[in-house]
Amino acid sequence: MKQERFVALHREAWSELQHWLDLVDSKPRQALRDARASGFPVEYRRLCHHLALARARGYSGEVTDRLQRMVQQGHRLLYRPPAPRWHRALSFLVAGFPRLVRSEWRCMAAAAVLFFAPALFCLVALQFHPQWAHSIFGSAQLAEFEKMYDPANHRIGRSSGTDLAMFGHYVMNNVSIAFRTFASGLALGVGAVYVLAANGVIIGGVAGHLTQMGYGGPFWRFVAAHAAFELTALVIAGGAGLKLGLTLLAPGRQRRGPAMVAAGWIGAQLALGAFAMLLIAAAIEAFWSSVAWFPDLLKFGSAALLWLLVLGWLWRGGAQAEGGDGA
């Protein structure tokens, strides 16, 4: 068939489809409610068929370029990402995320050791050698910590600022740190190791210093509850970063490229989960932890409950579905 005849046969159908595709770009809602929408997949496949024919028969650019362009537009529409669903996000948080954490338990354990070992060491060491605090922090920093956790404050854990201000501040800071920890793991894991250990030293140092000087009461009352989400999320983000770095170092029985893509896919999901945890942590930290007048029982009781909740969730979350899949 000569080109002109081919074009004459299908011109109508093409321009109608082109018109609808342009409409999708400009007014997606209206176009997708149109009756043509349900017939689109069939029309798109016919269009692909026409393009293949045009190429095989060596038709000129006038036809092939035009069809090529419509095919790209159609491909983009047919294979567009699904609309976000609350149900999916929720089932990921409840079941998918803890399952993912458990499946990467080696990296998570390594990250936990990298973080908690220096933290505990600093905490204990500062009880016996209080002067070491000055090797970790400058004196201005120490003064700031002491001001924040002064038992005389009616709001603990901050020197100024309202709840909302601190919420924004916590979200920005903590999530940024977690995201950077994850991403810097790409540098053969060095970044993640550094951030985890450094945060362990700092957090352990503050805790040790304040406990030793008798400000432990307000400090532990402040941190106990939100630490459940915050520290766990930091460890998970660090573990995901370690996984990225270790995969680059030792991809196992895969080529490095595909292994990195797979590790990145897992890591990004872990980072998303850690992000959700840090949002919860920031909300607790800003609106609950800072209230000084709650009795100790309520403070530490709620903290114990939250720790149990987080650990139980990570340990058992999604376990039934896992069994059901036979995985």
Partner 1 sequence: MLDTLRQIETPEGVFLRLRAAGALPRAQAWTIDFVLRLVVFSAAMIPLSLFGSAGSGVGALLMFVLMWAYAVVCEVWFGGQTLGKRAMGLRVVSADGAPVTLVPSVLRNLLRVVDILPGVYAVGLASTLIDPYGRRLGDVIAGTLVIHGGELPVGSQVPKVAPMAPPPGLAPDEQAVIVEFAERCGQLTPQRQQELADLLQPLTGCSGEAGVQRLLGYANWLLGRT
Residues within the interface to partner 1 (CB under 8 A): 1-5, 44-45, 48-49, 51-52, 55, 58, 60-66, 68-69, 71-73, 75-76, 79-81, 84, 160-162, 164-169, 171-172, 175-176, 179-180, 182-184, 186-187, 244, 257, 260-261, 263-265, 267-269, 271-272
Q: What minimum distance in Å lies between the beta carbon of 39 and partner 1?
A: 16
210 vs 244, which CB is nearer to partner 1?
244
Q: What minimum distance in Å lies between the beta carbon of 45 and partner 1?
A: 6
145 vs 182, which CB is nearer to partner 1?
182
Distance CA 117, CA 124 (A): 11
109, 107, 103, 257: which is closest to 189 by C-alpha?
Answer: 107
Tokens read off for 323: 């069994």
Distance CA 44, CA 52 (A): 12
Q: What minimum distance in Å lies between the beta carbon of 256 and partner 1?
A: 10
327, 285, 66, 253: which is closest to 167 by C-alpha?
Answer: 285
157 vs 205, which CB is nearer to partner 1?
157
**CB burial class (10 A; 0-12, 13-18, 19+) of residue 203?**
buried
217, 224, 210: which is closest to 126 by C-alpha?
Answer: 210
2 vs 253, which CB is nearer to partner 1?
2
SS3 at position 321: helix
Cβ-based neighbours of 206, under 8 Å, separated by 6 or more: 137, 145, 219
Q: What minimum distance in Å lies between the beta carbon of 231 and partner 1?
A: 20
83 vs 327, which CB is nearer to partner 1?
83
Q: What minimum distance in Å lies between the beta carbon of 52 and partner 1?
A: 5
187 vs 213, which CB is nearer to partner 1?
187
Distance CA 313, CA 25 (A): 43
89 vs 309, which CB is nearer to partner 1?
89
25 vs 144, which CB is nearer to partner 1?
25
Distances (CA, A) of 75 to 41, 78, 289: 10, 5, 51
Q: What minimum distance in Å lies between the beta carbon of 98 and partner 1?
A: 17
Distances (CA, A) of 31 to 13, 43, 60, 211, 246: 17, 15, 31, 65, 47
Q: What minimum distance in Å lies between the beta carbon of 31 and partner 1?
A: 14
Q: What minimum distance in Å lies between the beta carbon of 217 and partner 1?
A: 26
Tokens read off for 20: 């609808």
Cβ-based neighbours of 280, under 8 Å, separated by 6 or more: 229
